[in-house]
Amino acid sequence: MNVASNLSESVSEASVDVTAKAGTKVGAKTGIAFLGCGYVADFYQQTYANHKDSLTLHGIWDHDAARLEKFAAFYKLEHYASFEEMLADPEVEIIVNLTNPHAHYATSKRILEAGKHVYSEKPLAMEIDQARELVALAEEKGLQIVSAPSSVLGPAAQRLWQAVRERELGTPRLVYAEIDDGMIHKMGYAGWLSSSGTPWPAKDEFYTGCTLEHAGYMLTWLVAMFGPVTEVLSMASLCIPDKGGDTPEDYTTADFSCALLRFEAGVTARLTNSIIAPHDHRLRIFCDGGELCAHEVWNFHTHVDAYPLPQNKIQRGMEKYLHMRSKRKLAVAKNPETKFAEGGHPMDFVRGVADMAAALRAGRPARLGGAFSLHITEVTLAIQYPEIYGTPYVPQSRPAPIEPV
């Protein structure tokens, strides 16, 4: 996943020139390449199959020659001799940046300077000024840059968003969002291998932090539904400094954060991230008429339920004492042909790349591109580093509303 370390204000998406670059044609397949063959690359390679009608993978590259050869051989893929060769390939329009988060800025900058569009794993960059620079550079060159995650484009998120838009349980007032994964350092992760045999990068994960790695899964859904975050109140701390043999040197990255977020639509949310508390990936939206709940945001087809407020004394008693509530399942569209990564979460990792490619072919901004991805990065950084960004923090980026799928 890592790339050699020596690689060298909010922007409105509406201002980006999305004229076809690198030969994009309406109706044609979009050429892509994968930069980085680490743990997450398997998830992208295995879900690429869902989009072969619109995307063509021309090759891969990784600075680790052994890892590159193993990944290419396992999936029978063509690979480039160098990063420069990938950048020079005229068939490639989008480079999917799957490098280590600390390499995102340098590598994405080189991709843009070479005239290619960028789809980056999260975050866009590790510093907000770097993220702003990348978005501005893309605008200057008439290119697009998009950051994962793209789960908001999945059917479960879209169904929840529909319920919010159509006020199926009345006006939303408050949100509880949880991304807790349990004590990862005690789960025997040494045996976690990707399908091609790459170990889970524990030291990098601990060093980068669970908030930077995971908050975007909730923030993308919430910003899509309720508009930009207008205020962030955050606390972040390192609860367990010793995580065993893979504890990074000078380890200070928070393994817990809790933020109160105010959205442009007036909704307030509490967002928790940790690798301490037991697994909980629920998104609950409390409305005037009850609760909307997506039970597992890392599942494109998770159950989305509506819990109307109890209407009488018996129902209130059943809820209070027996924890039994009236429930209505909201139908989530399912495509039985959708493939998910082996050993991964049931998410279509390439969905965002395909949406970006469709936007390029149509000559429009990608749903999650530019200002939207910058905003998610800015808010995430503010949550993880309140000691740097201050709390309360007022985000400077203001993305335009995105359209439902």
Strand partners, 36: none
Strand partners, 369: 146
Number of H helices, E strands in the chain: 12, 13
Whole-number CA gyration radius for the chain: 21
CA dist 9 and 140 (Å) reads: 13
Residue 398 buriedness (CB in 10 A; 0-12 / 13-18 / 19+): middle
pLDDT, residue 226, reads: 98
CATH of 13-151+349-362, one of 3.40.50.720, 3.30.2010.10, 3.40.190.10, 2.40.50.140: 3.40.50.720
The answer to pTM > 0.95 is: no
pLDDT, residue 337, reads: 87
Map out the domains of the chain as residue ranges: 13-151+349-362, 153-337+371-376
> 369: how many CB neighbours lie within 10 A of its CB?
30
As given in the structure block, the two tokens for residue 16 are 């980006």
Which pairing describes strands 256-263 and 268-274: parallel, antiparallel, or unpaired? antiparallel
With H, G, I as helix, E, B as strand and everything else as coil, classify residue 192. coil
With H, G, I as helix, E, B as strand and everything else as coil, classify residue 344. coil
List of residues 6+ apart from 24 with CB closer than 8 A: 30, 93, 360, 361
Going across the sheet that includes 229-237, the strands are 229-237, 256-263, 268-274, 172-180, 283-287, 290-294, 304-308, 328-330
- Rounded to the nearest 5 degrees, what angle is found at the Cα of 104, between the Cα atoms of 83 and 110? 45
Q: Does domain 153-337+371-376 have CATH number 3.90.1150.10?
A: no
Question: Do you know the residue count of the chain?
Answer: 405
pLDDT, residue 314, reads: 86
pLDDT, residue 264, reads: 97
**DSSP type of residue 234:** E
Candidates 335, 349, 300, 283; CA nearest to 156 is 300
**Which helix (H) or strand (E) covers residue 387, if one does?**
helix 386-389
Stretches in the chain below the pLDDT threshold 70: 1-27
pLDDT, residue 404, reads: 95
pLDDT, residue 322, reads: 79
